[in-house]
């Protein structure tokens, strides 16, 4: 009965196409998120106010500050005391403070003479705006290093946002989230809707095996997810300029696996939930929260309490986001993340197996 | 105040080109049980919504309990009771909590609520079920309770939308006895039903077809007029020619 | 062998005994009605027979197949119309029908002559979304969908609930047409007046079968004298009549109240007790299914 499989897919596609609001949301959310992260975080550095802390204003220090104030990106706001740094940064009077060590000149001199030492410069940067902070730090280092051909030793401290997340880092996170949203949430809701409307009863009281009905349900959502995937990759590459030097096919392949995993997760939710409301709640609580909290999207795994570090191992998004990040940003090839791939594959097999087994062809 | 509790003149509701309710006119007197019958899609629900102040008429006028359906919807809502088969009570609240909730909605004071609720429970022989969750009551009890609650604020008119659907024959009759009792006490009852034998219990019956009131009289006179044995027959002969569905 | 054979079937949900030791059988080609209010166990029985649920105890056969062992065989042989509107509201009339045809691996053409008398009435609206159909039309579409694979046994769970009297009677005409084609039909309804349209009926309440017989046979079992009484004030009449010696029961029933006479009842005595009742009329009357139901419920 091949022919009826096609008509199942057709029917499912009609449901999706006629539900214009959901369609719009699914297509729009990724774009909006990408654009939001792409543009809200300006990569342009301009007019960074800088203050300096130095116990003595030695020649070396003067020289360094001079170079800084001539740079078009920085505005030197004067020397302040060590204990004033916090209030300057907090009030926004300065975005960065340069703290020269008391023996800056001596060390610089010694270094120039070949003694294995380096002058120490501490950079304290307001990192509440991630990109500005990142670029400012890099610039500052560049400018200061240039002074007196010194190889200074930098001690950089980011205030307010120590992890220095950038727009790049958000792209894998968004992907990890969106596919769960599209695949898991939407499939589970669409299966549960049939239970709610009562059509599930008729589907079950038919000679067609539920497996078939379910796969027919998954295919349209899989296709939509692929479209979304391509959209995200295009936006990431051309709007945000994410390098993806590791090769786009690796990312694509891994994402397809993650899509299938998300679909299985949706199926599992639908076997538990009896109303669309419950399906939505379960999807939100059991899937969204761990992705946001335990996947490394918002907080680095290493910074979590040990318990949550362990728990994070069972969150599929953790492995996916980690692998995509490596491929997208660090430019590693697919083989470099084989471990993540294997783990995701294993999870898919288990989830699919459990949910197919749990999917009952009776009502209880 | 006059004896007429509901007065409707040329009440009309259009949705675009579709005339759901087409210039209906009638009066309902105090203490009457007014049966509002019609085929599916005849415009009953739309008409009822206008009378309850939930929907604004396109043209025509209507007075319910002395208030204008066009301008005083809020006043109307305060002076009527409403009960439908679909929405009646909160299943996750107890009998007592439901009474208190609806009494509160209708603006009864805590003291009044206490008095009337106790009286209500006694009348229904429900005192022992005071703290039972409504969800665990049999359907028939729920419907009786929900009628009692819809009249807890002593409204002038109660609108009942298919109140007895799916209820067993004994409870259905007990329910109708409650309706009789309320009507005896001067409450006007406006009721829709698909059970044609229930139409016979009404003081007067109106039958709507395709947005128009096609017949309105006492059951006895309707049967005479249509030379029919029962209201069921009268209804069939009128509704058979209906052009539209829901 | 009957088309449906049920032996001591029981089913409970937690503490609620939805179906309590039910047995009966339905002959091939019979139009059999389950008559009872909500909570009688009608839907549970349908779900057991359509193999959607497993029974706690007892057994049943549909078309010769056991509901537990051979449930897959049953599923391709029965048509089922659940109590709720169970079509896809966002698909058109035609798309719904096509889908259900595909579901059972048949084409619409194969079954067209069977469903034509019903489907023809909604065919002019074939591009309309099912959710936008009227109650009567939804019902016709649902029935067409349930018949698309030419089932031998048809299960209809409260197909006429919430539908007006005219559409209801049209629906019963359609069922009579299907019966002519040899299809066995098990249908449930809360409307007692529909019972007469069935070959045989089972009156059920709270998970139990109260009585099974032909509609006429059920009524014949009513062994008490029954009177129809009326007066100017019908409500007052009710209370008064119940006080009179020998009156076993008195309840509203259409335009008259029905009065069930006990063995002590004496009509002259009754009249004398009620003599100050304005417009009192009392006539002998025939019992209906509903009278029987009330009597059985009170037992």
Range(s) of the domain holding residue A145 = 48-159
| Per-residue pLDDT tens digits for A277-289 | 888 888 878 778 8
Whether residues A134 and A238 fall in one domain = no
Contacts of A363 in chain C (CB under 8 A): 47, 52-53
Instruction: Please say which residue of A159, A189, A209 terminates a domain.
Output: A159
Last residue of a domain, one of A159, A189, A223: A159
A3/C102 Cβ within 8 A: yes
d(CA C73, CA A350): 31
β-strand partners of B161: B84, B192
* Residues A352, A325 share a domain: yes
Q: Which residues of C touch A (CB under 8 A)?
A: 47, 50-54, 72, 75-76, 78, 80, 82-91, 95, 98-100, 102-105, 145-146
Q: Tell me, which fold does domain C222-298 have in CATH?
A: Alpha-Beta Plaits (3.30.70)
Residues A267/A356, Cβ–Cβ less than 8 Å: yes
Asked if residue B57 lies in contact with residue B226, where contact means CB atoms within 8 angstroms, the answer is: no
Q: Which residues of C touch A197 (CB under 8 A)?
A: 84-86, 88-89
The pLDDT assigned to A169 comes to 67
Residue B164 is encoded by which pair of tokens? Answer: 């007895």
> C65-66 and C57-62: which strand pairing?
antiparallel
State both tokens at C66.
């056991």
Interval A47-63 mean pLDDT: 81
Q: Which residues pair with A123 in a beta bridge?
A: A98, A156
- Whether the CB-CB separation of A89 and A95 falls below 8 Å is answered with yes
**Which chain A residue is nearest to residue C84, measuring alpha carbons?**
A198
Residue B125 CB neighbours (<10 A):
9
Average pLDDT score over residue span B54-78: 91
**Same domain, residue pair A196 and A96:** no
Partners for C (CB, 8 Å, 3+ pairs)? A, B
A320 with A186, same domain: the answer is yes
Are A203 and A174 found together in one domain?
yes
How far is residue B38's CA from residue C185's CA, in Å, rounded to a whole number?
29
Q: Tell me the C-alpha distance between C66 and C71, whole Å.
A: 7
Percent of chain C with pLDDT strictly greater than 70 = 100
Measured between CA atoms, the residue of chain C closest to residue B86 is C162
Model confidence at A1, in pLDDT bands (50, 70, 90)?
very low
pLDDT of amino acid A362: 74
Across the interface, whether the CB atoms of B168 and C37 are under 8 A apart is answered yes
Residues in chain C closer than 8 A to B177 (CB atoms): 235, 238, 252
A196 with A141, same domain: the answer is no
CA-to-CA separations, A37 to A171, A196, A293, C264, C279, in angstroms, rounded: 8, 38, 19, 90, 85
Whether residue A201 and residue C86 make contact (CB cut-off 8 A), yes or no, is yes
CA–CA dist C190, C42 (Å, integer): 10
Give the residue range(s) of CATH 3.30.70 domains in chain C: 222-298
d(CA C128, CA C119): 14
How deeply is A11 buried, as exposed, middle or buried, from its count of CB atoms within 10 A (0-12, 13-18, 19+)? buried
d(CA A311, CA A331): 28
- Contact between B33 and B179 under an 8 Å Cβ cutoff? The reply is yes
Question: Residue B241 corresponds to which tokens in the numbers above?
Answer: 């020619």
Q: Which residues pair with A278 in a beta bridge?
A: none
* CA-based nearest distance A198→chain C, Å: 5
Count of pairs with CB atoms under 8 A, one residue in A, one in C: 81
Closest CA to B77 of B183, B184, B193, B156: B156
- For residue C123, what pLDDT band results from cuts at 50, 70 and 90? very high
CATH number assigned to the domain covering B4-88+157-239: 3.40.50.300
Whether A353 and A282 map to the same domain: the answer is yes
Query: Could you tell me if A203 lies within 8 Å of chain C, comparing CB atoms?
Result: yes
Count of structural domains within chain A: 2
Check if C235 contacts B (Cβ < 8 Å).
Answer: yes
Query: Chain C residue with minimal CA distance to A8?
Result: C99
Asked if A263 and A326 sit in the same domain, the reply is yes
pLDDT at B61 over 50: yes
Measured CA to CA, the distance from residue A329 to residue C134 in angstroms comes to: 58
Q: Is residue A363 part of a domain?
A: no
3+ Cβ–Cβ pairs closer than 8 Å linking B and A: no
What is the SS3 string spanning C81-110?
ECCCCCCCCCCEHHHHHHHHHHHCCCCHHH
Phi–psi pair at B241, nearest 5 degrees: -85, 10
Nearest alpha carbon to residue B174 among C228, C298, C195, C163: C298
Average pLDDT over residues A33-55: 71
Question: CA C48 to CA C25: how far, in whole Å?
Answer: 14
For C44, the closest chain A residue by CA position comes to A363
Residue A364 lies in a domain: no
* Cβ <8 Å between A207 and C54: no
Chain C contacts of B173, Cβ < 8 Å?
Answer: 251-252, 294
Q: Do chains B and C touch (3 or more CB pairs under 8 A)?
A: yes
Tell me the domain boundaries of chain B. Answer: 4-88+157-239
Q: Which of A131-145, A236-250, A350-364, B146-160 has the highest mean pLDDT?
A: B146-160
User: What is the least distance, in Å, from the CA of B44 to any CA of chain C?
Assistant: 12
pLDDT tens for A114-168 read 777 777 778 888 776 666 677 677 777 777 766 544 555 666 665 554 444 455 6
Q: How many CA atoms lie within 13 A of A274 on its CB side?
A: 4
The whole-angstrom distance between A202's CA and the closest CA on chain C is: 7
CB pairs under 8 A between B and C: 106
A40 torsion bin: left (phi>0), alpha (psi -120 to 50), beta (else) = alpha
Asked if C38 has any chain B CB less than 8 Å from its own CB, the reply is yes
A193: Cβ contacts below 8 Å, ≥ 6 apart: A276
Instruction: Mark A170-194 as b/e (b = at least 16 C-beta within 10 Å).
Output: bbbbbbbbbbbbbbbbbbbbbbbbb
Integer Cα distance of A178 and A180 in angstroms: 5
List the one residue out of A242, A233, A250 whose CA is nearest residue A338: A250
Higher pLDDT, B217 or A137: B217
Considering chain A, what is the average pLDDT of its residues?
80
Q: Which of B39, B171, B201 sits opposite C164 (nearest CB)?
A: B39
Signed CA dihedral, A126, A127, A132, A138: sign only: positive
Residue A298: inside a domain: yes
Q: Read off the pLDDT of residues A12-26 as tens digits, 9 standing for 90 and up.
A: 888 888 888 888 888
pLDDT at A28 over 90: no
Q: In DSSP terms, which residues pair with A79 in a beta bridge?
A: A52
- Give A112's Cβ-side CA count (13 Å radius): 12
Domain identity same for A64 and A7: no
How many whole angstroms separate alpha carbon C154 and alpha carbon C158? 13
Q: Which of A8, A206, A364 sits opposite C75 (nearest CB)?
A: A206
Task: Using the predicted structure, report yes or no on whether residue C220 has a pLDDT greater than 90.
Answer: yes
Tell whether A296 and A203 lie within a shared domain. Answer: yes
Domain boundary among A124, A139, A159: A159
Chains C and A touch (3+ CB pairs under 8 A): yes
Residue from B169, B185, B186 whose CB has the most chain C CBs within 10 Å, to mutate: B169
Q: Which two tokens stand for residue A186?
A: 């939407």
| N-to-C CA span, chain A | 27
Fold of the CATH domain C4-219: Rossmann fold (3.40.50)
Identify the CATH number of the domain in which residue A109 sits.
3.40.1710.10
Strands B67-68 and C153-156: unpaired
A154 shares a domain with A54: yes
């Amino acid at each position: 009965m091949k022919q009826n499989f096609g008509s199942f897919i057709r029917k499912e596609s009609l449901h999706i196409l006629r539900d214009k609001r959901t369609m719009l949301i699914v297509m729009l959310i990724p774009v909006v998120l990408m654009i939001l992260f792409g543009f809200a975080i300006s990569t342009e550095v301009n007019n960074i106010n800088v203050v300096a802390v130095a116990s003595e204003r030695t020649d070396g220090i003067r020289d360094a500050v001079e170079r800084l104030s001539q740079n078009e990106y920085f505005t030197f706001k004067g020397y302040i005391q060590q204990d004033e740094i916090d209030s300057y940064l907090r009030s926004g009077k300065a975005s960065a403070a340069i703290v020269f060590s008391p023996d800056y000149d001596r060390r610089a001199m010694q270094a120039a003479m070949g003694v294995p030492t380096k002058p120490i410069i501490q950079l304290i940067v307001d990192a509440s705006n991630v990109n500005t902070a990142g670029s400012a730090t890099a610039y500052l280092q560049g400018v200061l290093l240039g002074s007196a051909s010194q190889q200074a030793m930098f001690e950089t401290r980011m205030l307010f946002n120590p992890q220095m997340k950038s727009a790049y880092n958000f792209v894998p996170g968004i992907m990890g989230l969106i596919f769960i949203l599209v695949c898991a949430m939407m499939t589970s809701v669409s299966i549960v809707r049939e239970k709610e409307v009562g059509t599930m009863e008729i589907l079950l009281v038919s000679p067609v095996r539920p497996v078939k009905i379910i796969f027919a349900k998954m295919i349209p959502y899989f296709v939509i997810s692929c479209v979304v995937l391509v959209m995200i990759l295009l936006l990431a590459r051309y709007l945000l300029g994410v390098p993806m030097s590791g090769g786009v096919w690796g990312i694509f392949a891994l994402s397809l696996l993650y899509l299938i995993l998300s679909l299985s997760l949706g199926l599992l939710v639908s076997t538990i939930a009896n109303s669309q409301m419950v399906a939505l709640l379960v999807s939100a609580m059991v899937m969204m929260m761990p992705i946001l909290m335990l996947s490394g999207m918002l907080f680095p795994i290493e910074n979590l309490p040990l318990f949550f570090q362990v728990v994070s191992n069972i969150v599929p998004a953790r492995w996916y986001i980690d692998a995509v990040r490596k491929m997208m940003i660090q430019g590693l090839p697919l083989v470099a993340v084989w471990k993540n791939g294997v783990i995701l594959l294993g999870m898919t097999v288990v989830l699919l197996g459990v949910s197919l087994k749990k999917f009952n062809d009776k009502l209880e | 105040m006059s004896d007429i509790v509901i007065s409707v003149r040329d009440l009309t509701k259009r949705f675009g080109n579709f005339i759901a309710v087409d210039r209906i006119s009638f009066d309902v007197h105090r203490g009457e049980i007014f049966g509002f019958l019609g085929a599916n899609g005849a415009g009953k629900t739309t008409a009822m919504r206008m009378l309850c102040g939930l929907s604004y008429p396109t043209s025509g006028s209507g007075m319910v309990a002395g208030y204008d359906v066009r301008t005083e919807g809020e006043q109307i809502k305060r002076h009527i009771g409403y009960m439908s088969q679909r929405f009646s009570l909160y299943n996750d609240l107890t009998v007592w909590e439901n009474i208190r909730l609806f009494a509160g909605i209708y603006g009864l004071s805590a003291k009044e609520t206490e008095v009337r609720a106790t009286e209500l429970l006694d009348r229904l022989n429900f005192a022992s079920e005071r703290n039972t969750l409504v969800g665990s009551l049999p359907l028939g009890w729920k419907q009786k309770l929900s009628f009692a609650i819809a009249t807890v604020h002593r409204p002038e008119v109660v609108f009942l939308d298919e109140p007895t659907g799916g209820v067993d024959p004994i409870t259905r009759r007990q329910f109708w006895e409650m309706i009789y009792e309320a009507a005896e006490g001067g409450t006007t009852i406006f009721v829709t039903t698909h059970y044609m034998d229930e139409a016979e219990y009404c003081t007067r019956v109106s039958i709507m077809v395709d947005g128009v009131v096609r017949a309105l009289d006492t059951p006895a006179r309707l049967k005479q007029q249509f030379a029919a044995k029962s209201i069921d027959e009268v209804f069939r002969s009128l509704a058979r020619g209906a052009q539209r569905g829901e | 062998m009957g088309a449906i054979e049920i032996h001591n079937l029981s089913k409970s949900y937690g503490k609620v005994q939805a179906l309590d030791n039910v047995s009966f059988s339905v002959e091939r080609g019979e139009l059999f009605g389950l008559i009872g209010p909500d909570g009688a166990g009608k839907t549970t029985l349908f779900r057991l027979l359509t193999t959607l649920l497993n029974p706690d105890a007892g057994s049943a056969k549909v078309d010769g197949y056991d509901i537990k062992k051979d449930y897959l065989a049953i599923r391709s042989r029965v048509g089922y119309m659940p109590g709720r509107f169970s079509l896809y509201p966002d698909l058109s009339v035609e798309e719904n029908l096509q889908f259900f045809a595909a579901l059972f691996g048949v084409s619409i053409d194969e079954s067209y002559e069977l469903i034509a008398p019903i489907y023809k009435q909604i065919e002019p609206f074939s591009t309309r979304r099912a959710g936008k159909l009227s109650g009567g039309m939804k019902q016709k579409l649902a029935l067409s969908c349930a018949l698309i694979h030419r089932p031998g046994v048809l299960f209809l769970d409260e197909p006429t609930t919430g539908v007006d009297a005219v559409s209801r009677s049209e629906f019963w005409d359609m069922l009579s047409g299907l019966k002519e084609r040899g299809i066995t039909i098990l249908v449930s309804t809360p409307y007692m007046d529909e019972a007469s349209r069935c070959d045989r009926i089972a009156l059920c309440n709270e998970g139990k079968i109260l009585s099974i017989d032909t509609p006429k046979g059920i009524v014949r079992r009513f062994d008490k004298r029954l009177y129809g009484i009326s007066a100017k004030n019908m409500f007052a009449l009710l209370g008064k009549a119940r006080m009179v010696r020998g009156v076993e029961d008195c309840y509203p029933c259409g335009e008259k109240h029905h009065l069930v006479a006990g063995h002590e009842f004496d009509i002259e005595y009754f009249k004398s007790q009620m003599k100050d009742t304005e417009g009192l009329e009392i006539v002998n009357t025939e019992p209906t299914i509903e009278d029987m139901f009330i009597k059985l419920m009170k037992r």
